[in-house]
A = this chain, B = another copy of it.
Amino acid sequence: MDETARHCFVNSTLDIISGKWKMIILFQLTDKTLRFNELKKQIPGITQRVLTKQLRELEQEDIIERRVYPEIPPRVEYSISAYGRTLQPILTLMHEWGALHLKRQHSVERNQHTEGTGFGHDGTM
Contacts and interface: CB of A to CB of B under 8 A. Distances in A.
Interface of A: 6-14, 16-18, 23-24, 26-27, 61, 81-83, 86-87, 89-91, 93-99, 101-102, 104, 123, 125
Given A9-B95, A10-B91, A90-B93, 12 more contacts: A9-B94, A10-B95, A11-B23, A12-B101, A13-B95, A13-B98, A14-B94, A82-B123, A83-B104, A90-B90, A90-B94, A90-B97
Nearest to A97: B13
A90 to B, nearest CB: 5
Secondary structure at the A interface, as helix, strand, loop or mixed, is helix
A61 to B, nearest CB: 8
10 contacts: A7-B23, A8-B98, A9-B95, A9-B98, A10-B98, A11-B98, A13-B94, A13-B98, A14-B23, A86-B125
